[in-house]
Structure 1
């Protein structure tokens, strides 16, 4: 009997950024793999900076070739941080990825995520457009997860988001404790369904919390570059979105922006073909 095959797709969250081990990253998916059963083959295809297009075009073919029993697809935040954001394209790509794995017989793991504007502590007019985008992505993930029978983790809310001890210096990636929290929560959902037979990951970190000086050093070096790369792409559009946000607030018509985003999600989902009956 061959080992259970678990393949993880996605971006820096699943790559494990924020949970360093040796010269690399570990992360929630690797922690979860140890608790799925006595014999698990784990492959992490996630890459920092990946968007839904990268998952569809690069990670999906490699993942299908491995013929996983369990596959996690957690992606979408980087799409919201690009001036090319298009919820129709995001929905179509996720639908194609989910369908490909489920048609192959894999158990699909998904998650919705908190919005980056709130995590970074951006002012309201700047944070609101990003929050609206992330809510749109989460709505698509919710709907498609139900369509494809995925095991879905609600990670966009809860006390863990506001607990600073859960997060790394950049405030966007979980630290070791946060990655462990994700692994523990996924394991609990899988165990309840009888799909995880190994011991649950420990919620307690093995390494000490990064010091304040270490966090400041990260922000002054790698963190500055990370922010600069995204600002170059997103900032001009984000400033326009913020100006539009402020105009609507002044007119008392902010609800129109939310209604427009909701309508866009509905249209994106309606445009997708229904999965074939089993």
Structure 2
């Protein structure tokens, strides 16, 4: 059964309860910089919501396992946990690089949260994204892994871009989110609705780059996933604390980040995304001037519909431990 919850609001509905699993739950995190922990800095690197959730999946006394992937080293969580997420990862990277490693790890739970970087690339192809993400979900659930998914805010809104630039990105992110919703239902995943306007508007949840959660935001994501997993009988430890351990960055620290790492991020994206985004913005303005902007939305909806129709029939889902 699919479970939805808004970030910042109690999860609703009464999910189906999975059978309890003795011993520590093995948890693999797949995705991009959000899951790698960017925005939640600790001594030595990034931590993030996946590591916080991992700490809450196993009772005290479990053996620590170091995370893997692109995140810098950080204090080891208590659960048997591997973080395969890497900053900048696309859906195809999760499919070709992270999924085989996660399958070799043999997780009971796996979070698959990816897609924003795909919307920020010139070669955005919802059909290719759908095929790759479906293959990831199918491979994990075929071995009985319980999936965790999330839909996310569109980057145009987060960055405060002008409407002609923001609308094309919003259309792309909406397509990715609708794809994630469809695959969530297809594979019985636990789903976190993190595109809620209240989540976007609360700046205390976000880091200075305006694209990644800060410590408070990462803690909230971890707590919401923990609540939904608990409803399924799939957590053994207490929920992760939601109050931050460190004060939020000062305005000076935020400006320093934007002047250093933020500038580098924009330069790297400009060579790939900016020409395409300017072309999209031009097309957007032409359609608005003609009163035909709705055609762009219909075109995106039809592309997603074709992509979902082209997916192969799902295999029967295995139960955890099978």
TM-score range normalised by the length of the shorter chain: over 0.9
For 1:224-235, list aligned pairs within 5 A.
224-235=263-274
Alignment partners' CA distance in 2, 1:165 and 1:134: 23
Alignment partners' CA distance in 2, 1:161 and 1:188: 21
Identify which range, 36-45 or 248-257, moves more after superposition.
36-45
Select which of 230, 238, 243 maps to 1:191. 230
SS in 2 for 1:209: coil
1:80 aligned residue: 119
Select which of 6, 28, 33 maps to 1:7. 28
For 1:259-270, list aligned pairs within 5 A.
259-270=298-309
1:255 aligned residue: 294
For the 8 Å contact 2:142–2:315, the answer to whether it is kept is no
Identify which range, 260-269 or 38-47, moves more after superposition.
38-47
Q: Note the C-alpha offset of 1:3.
A: 2.6
Select which of 87, 110, 119 maps to 2:158. 119
Alignment partners' CA distance in 2, 1:160 and 1:273: 34
Select which of 22, 29, 33 maps to 2:43. 22
**What is the TM-score normalised by the length of structure 2?**
0.85
For the 8 Å contact 2:175–2:304, the answer to whether it is kept is yes
**What is the TM-score normalised by the length of structure 1?**
0.98
2:102 aligned residue: 63
Runs of 4+ in structure 1 deviating by more than 6 angstroms, as ranges, are: none
Alignment partners' CA distance in 1, 2:100 and 2:312: 21
Q: Note the C-alpha offset of 1:191.
A: 1.4
Q: Structure 1, residues 78-97: CA drift from partner, whole Å, max 9, x if none? A: 00000011000000000000
Alignment partners' CA distance in 1, 2:186 and 2:165: 33
Q: Note the C-alpha offset of 1:193.
A: 2.1
Alignment partners' CA distance in 2, 1:276 and 1:156: 29
Q: Note the C-alpha offset of 1:2.
A: 5.1
SS in 2 for 1:30: helix
1:211 aligned residue: 250
What stretches of structure 2 of length at least 5 have no aligned partner? 1-21, 63-78, 318-322
SS in 2 for 1:92: helix
Alignment partners' CA distance in 2, 1:156 and 1:131: 11
2:137 aligned residue: 98
Residue 34 (str. 1) matches residue 55 (str. 2): yes
Q: Structure 1, residues 167-189: CA drift from partner, whole Å, max 9, x if none? A: 11100000000101111111111
Residue 181 (str. 1) matches residue 202 (str. 2): no
Q: Note the C-alpha offset of 1:158.
A: 3.9
Q: Structure 1, residues 129-161: CA drift from partner, whole Å, max 9, x if none? A: 000000000011100111011111111114121
Q: Structure 1, residues 75-115: CA drift from partner, whole Å, max 9, x if none? A: 00000000011000000000000000000111110000000
Q: Note the C-alpha offset of 1:52.
A: 0.5
